[in-house]
Structure 1
Amino acid sequence: MPYGVSLAGKMGHKLVTPVPSLFTFQIKNPLLKDLAGISFSEVTATLKMEGSAQDFIQKGPCLITHWGLSGPAILKLSAFAARELHASGYKATLIMNWTQSLKPHDALALLEVCKTHSPKKKLSNENPFPCVKRFWDAILRESGLNDDLTYGDVTKKQLQEIAQRMTQYELNVKGKGEFKDEFVTAGGVAREEIDFRTMESKIHPGLYFAGEATDVDGVTGGFNFQNAWTGAWLCGQDVAKKLGQ
């Protein structure tokens, strides 16, 4: 436990147990093999864990990495589900909608349009979804379809399987990303014991907390930096005011 948080506990402050937040997901799945570097402008990611009373859903950009998934949508999931993921040993089910927010029947309708209007075109050359060809080819491969198959020859059941994979692809999260890449910590001195006008302890006058010593953590976009800088500024202003009295 960090020194500042440990000291606060010894002085009688209530502590919220620190856990990692803002981290990538470690996933091993044949679909993702050799696709590191491929990004999506927006996905819908749903996280499910045994024993959790709720599912966690986030939308946003996503990136395939050498060890799994990253990007704002994944990092936000890790933040909002930080405690539940910690309790589960970072084991969870992640359901990815690679099409942003299409329902399976909507995705199927797009594929059926291709079948109707482009029956002689190969599936590998006619992609109705917002993803790069390498990913589309991987989806077709996972669906057991060869590169030469045309829309005219594909069955409705095969199209349904593609639509399902594009909108409700299930992945198993096996852990946090490699190299301890979490960015911030959730937890610290309980918020109700801090005067956020000055960041001074409500229990021990003259004792101040800021940054990750407090039970405050945000999502991506610099919010954690801003929390640390603003908290330190408030501390400094109050200390200077008291010294000048």
Structure 2
Amino acid sequence: MPATHFRIIIIGGGASGHMAAISAKQQRPQAEVLLLEKSDKWLAKVRISGGGRCNVTHDCAEPRKLARHYPRGEAFVRKVFAAWGQPHTVAWFAQHGVVLKTEADGRMFPITDDSRTVIDALQDTARSLGVVSRLQCPVTQLALKPDGWALTTSGEVLLADRVVVATGGSPKDEGLSWLRALGHEVVPAVPSLFTFNLPSAPIRELMGVVAPSVRLRIAGNKLESTGPLLITHWGLSGPAVLRLSAFGARVLHDMRYEYTVLVDWLGEVGEGPAREHLAQEAQDHPKRQAGNAGGFGLPARLWSYLLDRAGVPLEKPLGELGKRSIDRLLDVLTNDRYLAKGKTTFKEEFVTAGGIALHQVDPVTMGSRIAPGLFFAGEVLDIDGITGGFNFQAAWSTGWLAGRAAAQK
């Protein structure tokens, strides 16, 4: 029985795979396009992103600025976004009934606040264009034959003129062995976007408290991040932590996730201005108790905790704070230290660093430089962004470019 032949087969039914299928069909309507997904659900990550709202992209249209939010692949995605970027994404979704809104932190969501809106737009568009789709159809082998690409699935062998690999990022090595066999270099995957575990640290009792603007560092290297910090029942989370974990993914992996986190609770204030502020407060309000001093805008529970950590009684009048007490307090405020052991995955936007080495991929066509007719899209590439819609933006852009190029003669 002859194998079923398609012009284009896309492996992976996530965000980038759907966009590749749609792009290919729009570029070449008469082409037979098949979309394969190994699981029993389409667009699983889209479904849970942003707490079920789907953080589609970020309010950053300029390719160079947008690319700075990618710890790995910045130079590559700069070219990708110049070819098909954030404005194209916003316009495409608007044309397909998904109007986006921008929140204060720049994240962009559908105005419905429902990821189903995004899923329906992608699936309805693919269906209306005539994309053939199959769930629970894992590909176990990919090989280049004289008459095209042969894909072995659980039930049959499929043939394709062009193949787009959009299998996502995973610590597991599934599928990458085919690509290695074709000569592709695969950068080992490590987790990105995770939170810091602080076993037995008393600060965990403040779970739910948010410090509005901190500066985080990792002792012994140059890793640094700023932004809000959330205290959780297992340790530290929030934008500052997630950004640091993303940019430090490989360093922290090599440290076996055991390191000292340095927290400057005052963010960009600085020790000198903080000392002057405390001196001025003591002069203006000498009888005010330290626990009622306002604490640089920090939440009251956190301020009380930091005073206790510095050995300053909450009831101590500001006017009676000696130099040693102020020195201890400033050290805690600007150079607090916590031993991190282990990590917790940020489940809403699970991301890995690693994948197909970018020097083997054309950033405009997403085509393999060593295997003609093979294209890549999404997290299978060694590209990952920080939290905030950046990983989906890379998925939409690389998917669109891969599908468009695969459909060309």
**TM-score for both structures, normalised by structure 1:** 0.90
Q: Structure 1 residues 30, 114: closer, same or farther in 2, change over 3 A?
A: farther
- Correspondence for 1:159: 326
Q: CA deviation at 1:181?
A: 7.5
Which letter does structure 1 place at the counterpart of 2:178?
L
Which letter does structure 2 place at the counterpart of 1:142?
R
Q: Rg larger in 1 or in 2?
A: 2
Q: CA deviation at 1:105?
A: 2.9
1:193-212 mapped onto 2 (5 Å cutoff)? 193-212=360-379
Residue number among 340, 344, 360 corresponding to 1:173 in the alignment: 340
- Correspondence for 1:80: 247
Q: Structure 1 residues 212, 4: closer, same or farther in 2, change over 3 A?
A: farther
Q: CA deviation at 1:222?
A: 0.9
Q: CA deviation at 1:219?
A: 1.2
2:230 matched to 1:63?
Answer: yes
1:92-107 mapped onto 2 (5 Å cutoff)? 92-107=259-274
The two structures, once aligned, show a CA RMSD in angstroms of 1.8
Counterpart-to-counterpart distance in 1, 2:194 and 2:397: 24
2:257 matched to 1:90?
Answer: yes
Which letter does structure 1 place at the counterpart of 2:398?
G
Q: CA deviation at 1:182?
A: 6.9
Residue number among 203, 206, 220 corresponding to 1:35 in the alignment: 206
**Residue pair 2:204, 2:232 contacting (<8 A) in 1 also:** no
Q: CA deviation at 1:110?
A: 1.3
Q: CA deviation at 1:106?
A: 2.3
Structure 1 stretches of 5 or more lacking a match? Answer: none
**Residue pair 1:44, 1:59 contacting (<8 A) in 2 also:** yes
- Correspondence for 1:125: 292
**TM-score for both structures, normalised by structure 2:** 0.55
**Residue pair 2:366, 2:375 contacting (<8 A) in 1 also:** yes
Q: Structure 1 residues 169, 41: closer, same or farther in 2, change over 3 A?
A: same
**Residue pair 2:360, 2:368 contacting (<8 A) in 1 also:** yes
- Correspondence for 1:44: 215
Q: CA deviation at 1:3?
A: 2.7
Counterpart-to-counterpart distance in 2, 1:152 and 1:113: 10
- Correspondence for 1:143: 310
2:391 matched to 1:224?
Answer: yes
- Correspondence for 1:7: 178
Q: CA deviation at 1:30?
A: 4.1
Counterpart-to-counterpart distance in 2, 1:240 and 1:215: 24
Residue number among 241, 260, 281 corresponding to 1:114 in the alignment: 281
**Residue pair 2:186, 2:357 contacting (<8 A) in 1 also:** yes
SS in 2 for 1:89: coil
**Cα deviations by residue, 1:156-205 (Å, 9 ceiling, x for unpaired):** 21111111111111111111126877721111110000112111111111
What is the number of equivalent residue pairs in this alignment? Answer: 238
Sequence identity of aligned pairs in percent? 40
Structure 2 stretches of 5 or more lacking a match? Answer: 1-171
- Correspondence for 2:47: none
- Correspondence for 2:353: 186
